[in-house]
Amino acid sequence: MRYWGIDIGRDLYAAVARDSAGNTVSTIISGSDSEIIEQIEPTDAVACEWTGGRARGFLEKLIQHGVTHLYIYKGSLRADRLHLGFDRKSDVADAATISYALWASLQPNVPFRPNALTDYELVREVYGLRGLLRVARKLTVERARWEQSEAARVSAGLDPKVYKAVAAFHKEQEAMAWQRLRLECARHESVMQVVRILSHYFPHGDRGIYELALLIAPLARFASVSALRRYCGVLPQHGESAGKVVERPAGRRGNMAARGAMGAILQSAIAIGNGARGRRGSWRDYYDRLRTRMRHGEAMIRMMHRLLGLVWRAYHHGEFADPLPIERRLTRSEIRRQQKERVLELVSKGFSDLQCARLLGIHNATISQWKRRDPNFLERYIRARIRAGGHGLTEVDHGNQREDSGRDSSTDRGGDGVS
């Protein structure tokens, strides 16, 4: 048994095979996948990096060739390549890294990071269900198109009874297609796990959650939540080449169908308040918060980013968090800055230091410390007293300032006694 690692490029295929001891026994670079498939025996194990349709077509040819041990490599290829000592990127280095990951993952006593591979059979089952999803969506479009053309068809001479019969037929076919899809999905646990998670957040999503579940399941094929978000194209976009950021524009990539499904579900949630009797929900509140600082499209992408994080957490940890993120806690310096601004506002209205301290719940000595240690605050404090008009600086305030100055000078000579 040999362990093959395949790097699928735009023009070339690179393949590296290892024996049972982990030694490289074969290296092939070819522009045709058939040349590589001829060298692979049915008893061998093969792993390749997932590249969408090209990888799926290659693996399907291997199944026809009789190969049963097929895997998808997941993770950071660059990190694993550097860990194995390949300093420079190349097709052969990537193939050698994938072959080592395959060999190490299938050996009992070879240390390697866990969950580096995903069985291709899981992904293949989901792709079969996607075919049923396409049929159901086409029937939905046809039913909607027929209903929207009622007035035009009847005015053109079509008998209303015939129209209603055809419309009922389309509706029945659509319902049967979606019901068949639900029944087939119930037989695949990897899909139903995602469906149950989405049903928790969108109890009235129904067809939308099945569509999204089929587009991102199985979640086991993603090494991290960042990989899931990158697959759906909701991460910040930038130009990249060989793992390095370059200065060139880049459009939003990823699975456009998955983003469309998430957008439809979220749009329904923010329009009617999570779909529960028209009430406002957490998704609507989150959307309103985002709209205060960004456009609609940016807010939707941010909500998709949040949704995928919730799905990932529920899948791996069983935790169902609130869709509305908790506001960031203020730091001590930010709280102090806000207290100072509030004190200056109250002082400008004529409040004394003691009154300000009582209203803000701080000690009176705290305001005295700010005046001693922060010259900018002291200057603004004096100006606030002046703006207070009749409540300007009194003799008591001047005495406090002289006393504070004396304390400050004594502190410089003997240390600060105020904690």
Whether 393 shows a pLDDT value over 50: the answer reads no
Whether 212 shows a pLDDT value over 80: the answer reads yes
- Residues, the chain: 419
Whether 317 shows a pLDDT value over 50: the answer reads yes
Q: What is the DSSP string of 88-133?
A: S--HHHHHHHHHHHHHHHTSTT----SS-EEEHHHHHHHHHHHHHH
Q: Is 55 or 134 the better-scoring residue by pLDDT?
A: 134
Q: Kindly state whether residues 232 and 140 are assigned to the same domain.
A: yes
Banded model confidence at residue 127, pLDDT cuts 50, 70, 90: confident
Last residue of a domain, one of 57, 80, 114: 114
Position 179 scores a pLDDT of: 92
Banded model confidence at residue 382, pLDDT cuts 50, 70, 90: very high
Q: Closest Cα to residue 318, out of 220, 188, 196?
A: 196
Report the number of distinct structural domains present in the chain: 3
The model's pTM is 0.62
Whether 13 shows a pLDDT value over 70: the answer reads yes
Residue 245 lies in a domain: no
Per-residue pLDDT reduced to its tens digit, 218-256: 888 787 888 888 888 888 765 555 556 555 555 567 788
Q: Which domain holds residue 13?
A: 3-114
Position 368 scores a pLDDT of: 92
Which of 29-43, 231-245, 342-356 has the least mean pLDDT? Answer: 231-245
Burial class (CB in 10 A: 0-12, 13-18, 19+), 311: buried
Q: Kindly state whether residues 64 and 159 are assigned to the same domain.
A: no
Q: How far apart are CA 412 and CA 399, in angstroms?
A: 20
The H helix count followed by the E strand count for the chain is: 18, 8
CATH of the domain at 22: 3.30.420.40
Residue 325 lies in a domain: no
Residue 104 lies in a domain: yes
Q: Kindly state whether residues 285 and 139 are assigned to the same domain.
A: yes
Q: Kindly state whether residues 127 and 219 are assigned to the same domain.
A: yes
Percent of the residues in the chain that have a pLDDT greater than 70, as a whole number: 85
Q: Kindly state whether residues 130 and 84 are assigned to the same domain.
A: no
Buried b (16+ CB within 10 A) or exposed e, 44-71: bbbbbbbeeeebbebbeebeeeebebbb
The mean predicted confidence, pLDDT, of the chain is: 82
Q: Kindly state whether residues 179 and 289 are assigned to the same domain.
A: yes
What tokens does 271 get?
């329009």
